[in-house]
């Protein structure tokens, strides 16, 4: 299918040959030019694209290999989706150790971006829960890598952006849960200070914390938002809501973006006031808690044919407060705004990959409709702020960061380079290193 | 607990179907020629909930080996609720036109072997007086077209055979289900450009399981192929021979 070669932001467009991989025992197909593994295309920018080359589509590597319901150790092929794992393990009392904000990612993609979730302050990144993985290279070699075996290859491949070879399978340690429910609290906060106070107060007792902030309002309303903190609920919570059963879908791409300054401000204001009280209790099924956007299929289409850009950065703890304020002010003043701005504090659990993005500090993620040069100029300004503070920008969500900043954000890129498979490359990697 | 035999179990459509049965806890007996992939699929189906998964290797063109494998399946499962015959190839039509040998080999893979397997299993179902014999034919069997009439004629043979078998087996309470998929995105059709009419193996699998559960006779999958094929079958020959299909 033609669209499988796109990234989630539908920007940039790339032209590439797609080869589906469905047999993990087979050698890699030999291709003219370069190849890049592709999972489920849930990265936003160009890190999962290989313009002018080949994509090795790994989604068809979708077999489970073994699952031990006593220990929660799961072995599966790399194309298995998180949604498929949840369907299998939640009824047996287990849950993903770490999950991003969509369950439609593959295990291979989650490893290659060393993804994080709302429990970063407790659990660190996904890579920390990978007990081992198999790496298949274009020279036909196979390595079983873990923190103990070939630790250097493990560190290069976790967060390795698909460049070190094809991950064929992995073994993951799941975490116990009593059932599918979550319980916690929702707090409204008036400004960024309010966020930092809530976050500080919650990180010890709550496994999952995250905030949404209003990035469209200026002045007094600047940085207001809603903070959610939750834990997996005990076996029998007071109420047991079910998962939403109907999946809506955006049926086609509208000719122009439906996200504009007007709709943004209206949405942000409504969203803020949706939470009536300053504190509310929540008991909910894990699906709407972790994956609010998954309820709407192909939601990325609402940004119209030009697509959109995500921007996710992290700034170190000492600079978190002032930097976030500057970032949010800059965004609000630009009028570009963001539909969904997500703010969270990462913990200090070390990330296992050479190029892992998560590091201690506050992280902000936003999306911007692609309005061409205006949007790019704003993101460049944000980069200046982030780089200056010693922060970093997330490659999984990037389509434009300048090479000089990438090298600044990820100084390990040079020691990483020797691990790149000589037949592998990506649009992203060429853009930031050449 | 359901007991299901699948022939051509490494096919994408068959694997998707097996997963649905595994999720119900079914006992499965898988038959295909690639032993490594069979082992992988069996492991996957166990994780997905299958009570027990047996497997055996068979090249369906080895007609002499059929009886033994069928015996193994019945010995392992005791009785069989559903058998799904799913193996197949998509022959290169041009090669089939230039080589009698290739044409007959492909006919054998897609028709003769299937007829042989169904014939060998029919007495066992007659003795059981219950069960579903499901076979994957194709919309291509509804009318020969120049682009793939070797494949089409083999599938036509399978459809006609299944129709007769259905009448015979109805008397003893055994249902014969003919499945006619349209375009499906599987390794068989890897080289094709995919468009709006293309279905996923999952969609076809759900249809197969539903059809087997409900005792359906002939199913076009997805359903919209029924009206499409109705039209194609009724185009008069004098027009049909002038169009490219
Ligand atoms: C709504 C939404 C919310 C999100 N929330 C978060 C979040 O909270 N936290 C977070 O960290 N991320 C988040 N993401 C980003 C997403 O989790 C990552 O981009 C993830 O890596 C996508 O996985 P994928 O399977 O779609 O892989 P793709 O996007 O297809 O590929 C991602 C990378 O993995 C590589 N890759 C894929 N498969 C393999 C393989 N088998 N072997 C080797 N390399 C491989 C590719 O080459 C590429 O570099 C979110 C994305 C969306 C759309
Ligand atoms: N895909 C479509 O568009 C489509 C449309 C209509 C009907 N169908 C039918 O659907 C069925 C399943 O096909 P699919 O689409 O799922 O394709 P597939 O994934 O390519 O499966 C075909 C299977 O047949 C097996 N096979 C071929 N020759 C064999 C032999 N001599 N002995 C044993 N096994 C043999 C193959 O085994 P190996 O892997 O070992 O080669 C493979 O597992 C076939 O009957 C096909 O004709 C498909």
A130-180 pLDDT per residue, tens: 999 999 999 999 999 999 999 999 999 999 999 999 999 999 999 999 999
Strand pairing category for A181-189 and A35-38: unpaired
Out of A22, A24, A66, the one facing B187 most closely (by C-beta) is: A22
The residue from A160, A177, A194 where one domain ends is A177
**What is the domain-level CATH number for residue A298?**
3.40.462.10
Identify which of A6, A39, A136 to mutate to test ligand 1's pocket (most ligand atoms within 8 A of the CB): A39
Q: What is the mean pLDDT of residues A246-261?
A: 73
Best mutation target, B14, B43, B47, to test chain A (most A CBs within 10 A): B47
Q: Do residue A88 and residue B48 have CB atoms under 8 angstroms apart?
A: yes
Give the per-residue pLDDT at A2.
40
Give the per-residue pLDDT at B83.
98
Ligand nearest to the CA of A127: 1
Residue A228 lies in a domain: yes
Number of structural domains (chain A) is 2
Give the per-residue pLDDT at A1.
34
Residue A286 lies in a domain: yes
Chain A positions touching B38 (Cβ under 8 A) are: none
Pair A235, A345 in one domain: yes
Residue A264 lies in a domain: yes
Instruction: Tell me, in angstroms, the distance from the centre of ligand 2 to residue B155's CA.
Output: 12
Give the per-residue pLDDT at A118.
98
C-alpha to C-alpha distance for A197 and A220, rounded to whole angstroms = 18
Q: Do residue B198 and residue A65 have CB atoms under 8 angstroms apart?
A: no
Q: What is the mean pLDDT of residues B120-144?
A: 98
Q: What is the mean pLDDT of residues A190-209?
A: 95
Model pLDDT for residues A78-122, shown as the tens digit of each residue: 999 999 999 999 999 999 999 999 999 999 999 999 999 999 999
Q: For the CA atoms of A367, A372, A374, A377, what is the dihedral angle to 10 degrees?
A: 80
C-alpha to C-alpha distance for A328 and A377, rounded to whole angstroms = 15
Pair A368, A242 in one domain: yes
pTM of the model: 0.94
Pair A217, A286 in one domain: yes
Residue A40 lies in a domain: no
Instruction: Tell me, in angstroms, the distance from the centre of ligand 2 to residue B89's CA.
Output: 5
Structural contact between residues A79 and A65, judged by C-beta atoms closer than 8 angstroms? no
Residue A14 lies in a domain: no
Q: What angle do CA A269, A271, A274 make, to 5 degrees?
A: 110
Give the per-residue pLDDT at A323.
96
The answer to whether residue A279 scores a pLDDT higher than 90 is no
Identify which of B11, B60, B219 to mutate to test ligand 2's pocket (most ligand atoms within 8 A of the CB): B11
Smallest Cα distance from A89 to chain B, Å? 10
Q: What is the mean pLDDT of residues A23-42?
A: 96
The residue from A150, A177, A204 where one domain ends is A177
pLDDT band at residue A306 under the 50/70/90 scheme: confident
Pair A361, A250 in one domain: yes
Q: Do residue B43 and residue A63 have CB atoms under 8 angstroms apart?
A: yes
CA distances from A319 to A12, A256, A363, A391 (A): 32, 38, 11, 9
Out of A23, A25, A64, the one facing B48 most closely (by C-beta) is: A64
Give the per-residue pLDDT at A75.
98
Structural contact between residues A62 and A131, judged by C-beta atoms closer than 8 angstroms? no
The answer to whether residue A3 scores a pLDDT higher than 50 is no
**What is the domain-level CATH number for residue A162?**
3.30.465.10
Which residues of A78-191 form beta strands (DSSP E)? 94-95, 130-136, 142-145, 166-173, 175-176, 181-189
The answer to whether residue A32 scores a pLDDT higher than 50 is yes
The residue from A115, A143, A177 where one domain ends is A177
Structural contact between residues A279 and A186, judged by C-beta atoms closer than 8 angstroms? yes
Pick the catalytic residue: B21, B149, B151, B220?
B151
Smallest Cα distance from A370 to chain B, Å? 28
Pair A172, A196 in one domain: no
Residues of chain B contacting A, Cβ within 8 Å: 12, 36-37, 40-41, 43-44, 47-48, 185, 187, 190, 194, 198
Residue A343 lies in a domain: yes
The answer to whether residue A423 scores a pLDDT higher than 60 is yes
Pair A163, A220 in one domain: no
Give the per-residue pLDDT at A386.
98
Q: Do residue B37 and residue A23 have CB atoms under 8 angstroms apart?
A: yes
Pair A72, A209 in one domain: no
Q: Rounded mean pLDDT of chain A?
A: 92
pLDDT band at residue A183 under the 50/70/90 scheme: very high
The residue of chain A with its CA nearest to that of B34 is A23
- State percent of chain A over pLDDT 70: 97
Give the per-residue pLDDT at A13.
87
Pair A279, A377 in one domain: yes
Residues in chain A: 434
Strand order in the sheet with A35-38: A17-20, A54-57, A35-38
The answer to whether residue A274 scores a pLDDT higher than 90 is no
Give the per-residue pLDDT at B88.
98
Ligand nearest to the CA of A6: 1
Model pLDDT for residues B175-206, shown as the tens digit of each residue: 999 999 999 999 999 888 888 899 999 999 99
Pair A170, A265 in one domain: no
The residue of chain A with its CA nearest to that of B43 is A65
Give the per-residue pLDDT at A5.
62
The residue of chain B with its CA nearest to that of A69 is B47
Pair A152, A222 in one domain: no
DSSP B51-63: SEEEEEE--TT-G
Least confident of A119-123, A327-331, A346-350, B103-107: A327-331
Ligand nearest to the CA of B225: 2
**Cis geometry, peptide bond prior to residue A334 (ω within 30 degrees of 0):** no
- Quote the domain boundaries for residue A335: 181-404
Active site residue B149: no
Shortest-distance atom of ligand 1 to CA A61: 41
C-alpha to C-alpha distance for A249 and A196, rounded to whole angstroms = 36
pLDDT band at residue A295 under the 50/70/90 scheme: confident
Pair A212, A331 in one domain: yes
Residue A32 lies in a domain: no
Out of A1, A25, A63, the one facing B36 most closely (by C-beta) is: A25
Smallest Cα distance from A136 to chain B, Å? 18
Strand pairing category for B27-32 and A392-393: unpaired
The answer to whether residue A411 scores a pLDDT higher than 60 is yes
Q: Estimate the share of chain B in helix, then strand, then coil, as percent rounded to the nearest 5.
A: 55, 15, 30
C-alpha to C-alpha distance for B161 and A173, rounded to whole angstroms = 51
ipTM passes above 0.95:
no
Residue A210 lies in a domain: yes
Give the per-residue pLDDT at A247.
64
Out of B12, B41, B194, the one facing A1 most closely (by C-beta) is: B194
Q: Rounded mean pLDDT of chain B?
A: 97
- The domains of chain B, with CATH numbers, are 3-240 (3.40.50.720)
Shortest-distance atom of ligand 1 to CA A78: 41
Coil, helix or strand at residue A352: coil
Q: What is the mean pLDDT of residues B11-22?
A: 98
Pair A117, A242 in one domain: no
């Amino acid at each position: 299918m033609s669209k499988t070669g796109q990234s989630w932001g539908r920007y940039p467009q790339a032209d590439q040959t797609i080869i589906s991989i469905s047999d993990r025992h087979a050698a890699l197909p030999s291709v003219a030019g370069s190849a890049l593994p592709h999972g489920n295309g849930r990265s936003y920018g160009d890190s999962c694209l290989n313009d002018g080359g080949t994509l090795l589509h790994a989604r068809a590597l979708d077999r489970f290999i073994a699952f031990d319901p006593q220990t929660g150790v799961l072995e599966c092929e790399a194309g298995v989706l998180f949604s498929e794992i949840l369907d299998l393990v939640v009824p047996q009392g287990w849950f993903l150790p770490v999950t991003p904000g969509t369950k439609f990612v593959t295990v291979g993609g989650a490893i290659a971006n060393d993804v994080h979730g709302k429990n970063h302050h407790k659990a660190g990144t996904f890579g920390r829960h990978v007990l081992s993985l198999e790496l298949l290279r274009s020279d036909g070699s196979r390595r079983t890598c873990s923190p103990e075996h070939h630790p250097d290859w493990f560190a290069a491949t976790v967060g390795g952006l698909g460049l070190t070879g094809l991950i064929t399978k992995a073994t993951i340690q799941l975490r116990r849960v009593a059932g599918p429910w979550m319980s916690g609290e929702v707090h409204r906060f008036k400004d960024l200070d309010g966020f930092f106070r809530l976050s500080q107060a919650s990180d010890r007792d709550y496994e999952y914390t995250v905030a949404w902030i209003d990035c469209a309002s200026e002045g007094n309303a600047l940085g207001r938002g809603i903070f959610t903190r939750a834990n997996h609920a005990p076996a029998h919570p007071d109420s047991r809501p079910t998962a939403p059963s109907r999946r809506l879908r955006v049926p086609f791409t509208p000719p122009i973006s439906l996200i504009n300054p007007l709709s943004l401000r209206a949405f942000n204001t409504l969203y803020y006031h949706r939470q009536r009280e300053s504190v509310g209790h929540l008991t909910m099924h894990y699906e709407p808690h972790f994956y609010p956007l998954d309820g709407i299929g192909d939601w990325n289409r609402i940004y119209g044919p030009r697509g959109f850009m995500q921007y996710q950065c992290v700034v170190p703890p000492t600079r978190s407060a002032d930097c976030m304020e500057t970032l949010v002010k800059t965004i609000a003043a630009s009028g570009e705004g963001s539909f969904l701005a997500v703010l969270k504090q990462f913990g200090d659990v070390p990330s296992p990959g050479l190029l892992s993005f998560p590091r201690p500090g506050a992280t902000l993620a936003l999306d911007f409709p692609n309005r061409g040069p205006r949007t790019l100029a704003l993101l460049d300004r944000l980069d200046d702020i982030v780089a200056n503070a010693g922060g970093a920008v997330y490659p999984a969500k990037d389509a434009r960061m300048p090479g000089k900043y990438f090298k600044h954000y990820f100084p390990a890129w040079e020691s990483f380079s020797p691990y790149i498979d000589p037949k592998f490359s990506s649009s992203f990697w060429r853009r930031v290193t050449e | 607990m359901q007991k299901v035999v699948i022939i051509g179990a490494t096919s994408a459509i068959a694997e998707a179907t097996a997963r649905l049965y595994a999720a119900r806890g079914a006992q499965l007996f898988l038959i295909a020629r690639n032993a490594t992939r069979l082992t992988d699929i069996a492991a996957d189906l166990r994780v997905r909930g299958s009570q027990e998964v047996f497997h055996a290797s068979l090249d369906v063109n080895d007609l002499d080996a059929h009886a033994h494998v069928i015996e193994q399946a019945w010995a392992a499962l005791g009785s069989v609720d559903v058998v799904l015959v799913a193996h197949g190839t998509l022959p290169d039509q041009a090669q089939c036109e230039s080589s009698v040998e290739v044409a007959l080999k492909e006919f054998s893979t897609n028709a003769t072997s299937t007829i042989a397997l169904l014939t060998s299993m029919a007495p066992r179902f007659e003795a059981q007086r219950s069960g579903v014999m499901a076979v994957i034919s194709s919309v291509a069997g509804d009318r020969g077209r120049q682009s793939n009439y070797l494949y089409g004629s083999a599938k036509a043979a399978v459809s006609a055979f299944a129709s007769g078998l259905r009448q015979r087996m109805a008397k003893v309470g055994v249902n014969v289900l003919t499945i006619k998929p349209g375009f499906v995105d599987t390794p068989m059709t890897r080289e094709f450009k995919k468009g709006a009419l293309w279905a996923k193996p999952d969609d076809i699998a759900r249809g197969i399981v539903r059809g087997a559960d409900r005792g359906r006779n002939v199913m076009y999958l997805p359903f919209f192929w029924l009206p499409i094929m109705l039209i194609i079958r009724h185009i008069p020959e004098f027009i049909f021979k002038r169009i490219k299909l």
